[in-house]
Amino acid sequence: MTHQLKIAPEVRTALESGAPVVALESTIISHGFPYPANLECALAAEENARDEGAVPATIALIGGEICVGLDSIGLEHLAIVPGIAKVSRRDLATLVASGSDGATTVAATMMIAEMAGIRVFATGGIGGVHRGAETSFDISADLEELARTDVAVVCAGAKSVLDLGLTLEYLETHGVPVLGYGTDEFPAFYTRTSGFGVDARLDSAEEIAAVLRTRRELGISGGVVVANPIPPEYELAHAEIDGVIETALAEAAEHGVRGKAVTPFLLGRIHALTGGASETANKELVYNNVRLAARIARALSEGA
């Protein structure tokens, strides 16, 4: 654990006593939704973790400090201050050294969670291999982090704007297991199915915790993807969302959107093109993932 970590008292007490803790990212606050929807989502995600018996630890950089657990003032700061940097592994040291604010991506949140001793992390969807990566080489740092960092990531699959087949191939190559919670098929963020399978189906938090525990006992390093489909009542129709994504991708290409700006641009256009339905779906799948992550963290705690 580095001296730069500022662990909130509630989170520190939980970690020291072996109580369940769930890490939460902050990019979804600063870059995922407009205000006040972003703050509402952050607060509701934390409440969902508490409802399932776990302590939430939202991770972010505030004034160069790596914060593991934020109070309402910290969450509101991330929600209302414009221009907060998006932090991945490559950015972390630079932003800490310069005393900057930063909203952590999946990769950076995993990295910091492991530093703090948190084993389970809930997010919306992981990044992955972008469409056209054979020429752009645009592959999310989330995948490399999953290959090296010992944290389980509960998600609704990968963001559906990605090349899901190549994303799964990349995870397989790097030895990252994809566990389907109550599903044989890899979910595609807004939809429960994608046409691609998972490595194993597990139907309870206890079964997932047993796999995580066994990996540690065997000395197997790296992360695990826990793929948790969006609740059926919030799923968007395949035909609708596929058409919207194709339109958003074409607009991104037309405007020359690249790198870190791609995903926020696409999510914003998808929100507009679906008349806000994608925002509701996005929030609900996040809450669903947080609840499952809390149950897994609780099962790990009880079986420790």
Annotated active-site residue 25? The verdict is yes
Q: Please give, one letter per residue, the 3-state secondary structure of the chain.
A: CCCCEEECHHHHHHHHHCCCEEEECCHHHHHHCCCCHHHHHHHHHHHHHHHCCCEEEEEEEECCEEEECCCHHHHHHHHHCCCCEEECHHHHHHHHHCCCCEEECHHHHHHHHHHHCCCEEECCCECCEECCHHHHCCECHHHHHHHHCCCEEEECEECCCECHHHHHHHHHHCCCCEEEECCCECCECCECCCCCECCEEECCHHHHHHHHHHHHHCCCCCCEEEECCCCHHHCCCHHHHHHHHHHHHHHHHHCCCCHHHHHHHHHHHHHHHCCCHHHHHHHHHHHHHHHHHHHHHHHHHHHC
233 pLDDT band, cuts 50/70/90, is very high
Work out the average pLDDT over 228-257.
90
- Rounded distance between C-alpha atoms, residue 16 and residue 31, angstroms: 32
Annotated active-site residue 159? The verdict is yes
Residue 1 has pLDDT above 70, yes or no: no
- Per-residue pLDDT of 117-159, as tens digits, reads 999 999 999 998 987 767 677 889 999 999 999 999 999 999 8
Residue 212 has pLDDT above 90, yes or no: yes
pLDDT recorded at residue 298: 98
pLDDT recorded at residue 217: 97
pTM of the shown model:
0.94
- Rounded distance between C-alpha atoms, residue 68 and residue 66, angstroms: 7
Work out the average pLDDT over 71-78.
98
208 pLDDT band, cuts 50/70/90, is very high
If we measure between CA atoms, which residue out of 102, 118, 98, 152 comes closest to residue 289? 152
- The residue ranges of every structural domain in the chain are 5-303
* Residues in contact with 256: Cβ distance below 8 Å, sequence separation at least 6, in sequence order: none
Work out the average pLDDT over 52-65.
97
304 pLDDT band, cuts 50/70/90, is low
Residue 72 has pLDDT above 90, yes or no: yes
If we measure between CA atoms, which residue out of 241, 130, 228, 144 comes closest to residue 186? 228
Residue 300 has pLDDT above 60, yes or no: yes
Please tell me which residue in 46, 145, 159, 283 is annotated as part of the active site. 159
- Per-residue pLDDT of 173-202, as tens digits, reads 999 999 999 999 999 999 999 999 999 999
pLDDT averaged over the chain? 93
Residue 167 has pLDDT above 90, yes or no: yes
262 pLDDT band, cuts 50/70/90, is confident
pLDDT recorded at residue 85: 97
- Rounded distance between C-alpha atoms, residue 131 and residue 7, angstroms: 38
Q: For 153, phi and psi rounded to 5 degrees?
A: -110, 115
- Least confidently predicted of 124-133, 202-211, 279-288: 124-133
pLDDT recorded at residue 44: 98
Residue 76 has pLDDT above 80, yes or no: yes
Please tell me which residue in 25, 46, 235, 279 is annotated as part of the active site. 25
- Per-residue pLDDT of 80-104, as tens digits, reads 999 999 999 999 999 999 999 999 9
Q: Does domain 5-303 have CATH number 3.40.1280.10?
A: no
